[in-house]
Amino acid sequence: MFTAQQTLEEAQQFYKKVKDVAKSFGRNPDHVKIMPGISPYIGRTEAEAREKYEQLQQLILPELGIHLLSEYLGGFDLSPYPLDEPLPEDLPASNGNLSRRQLILDLAKREHLTLRELSLRLAGSRGHKIIFGTPEDIADQLQEWVENEAADGGFNIMPPYLPGALDEFVEQVVPILQARGLFRKEYEGRTLRENLGLLEPQSRYDYQKVKD
């Protein structure tokens, strides 16, 4: 399951809820893998990483950010609202992506973001967690989530730009994770299912099963 929690506590709550539900239906909770999305900014220092982030934020057109935010909140048009004011509290209900909508509302409230700040944050990471730091810092944050039951299937890496940011992650962060025994050095199989260690479910149309 690809997720978009912003804090360790939120991710732990979601992780536990999903695992408990799987167990209640007689499924092995280890066969449900939680893979949070992260957008890493890597630098020689955390300050340098944050500077990269600010430079890219300045390239985002405000109207694009507002358009994306409007879509994430259920299609409600936010363009008439002042950009430097908080998110309006009278948003209409939506039948869209309710979990993502709630994560965005929680983020805006927790960090006291204006409409401009919130829209730019989402445009840069599509609503996923942004992490900053040296390669060691990034590895530390990923390890923290795995060791504290907030993730277990890995992470959905969302580089802020391509190909440079992806190259940085592969060349600088992955070797650290490998040295810590947290990332493979070779793939075990040829499919995502095999590499996640998941069993292949038996088809309902399996002839032998139907015959039995």
Asked if residue 69 is part of any domain, the answer here is: yes
pLDDT of residue 207: 57
Asked if residue 120 is part of any domain, the answer here is: yes
**113-144: string of b/e by CB count within 10 Å (b at 16+)?**
bebbbbbbbbbbbebbbbbbbbbebbbebbee
Asked if residue 80 is part of any domain, the answer here is: yes
Q: What Cα–Cα distance (Å) separates residue 1 from each residue in 19, 137, 154, 164? A: 11, 25, 10, 27
Contact 86, 108 (CB under 8 A): yes
69 class by beta-carbon count within 10 Å (0-12 exposed, 13-18 middle, 19+ buried): buried
Number of domain units in the chain: 1
Handedness of CA 73, 105, 20, 1 (dihedral sign): positive
CA dist 21 and 209 (Å) reads: 27
pLDDT of residue 136: 98
Return the percent helix, strand and coil in the chain, to nearest 5. Answer: 50, 10, 40
Asked if residue 89 is part of any domain, the answer here is: yes
What's the whole-model pTM score? Answer: 0.81
pLDDT of residue 98: 75
Asked if residue 192 is part of any domain, the answer here is: no
CATH of the domain at 171: 3.20.20.30
What is the extent of the structural domain holding 118? 2-184
> Over its length of 212 residues, how does the chain's per-residue pLDDT go in tens digits?
999 898 999 999 999 999 999 999 999 999 999 999 999 999 999 999 999 999 999 998 989 889 988 988 888 888 999 999 998 887 877 766 777 888 888 888 999 999 999 998 888 787 789 999 999 999 999 999 999 999 997 999 999 999 999 999 999 999 999 999 999 999 989 998 898 888 887 777 765 554 55
Asked if residue 191 is part of any domain, the answer here is: no
Helix (H) or strand (E) holding 149: none
CA dist 127 and 116 (Å) reads: 14
Asked if residue 210 is part of any domain, the answer here is: no
Asked if residue 87 is part of any domain, the answer here is: yes
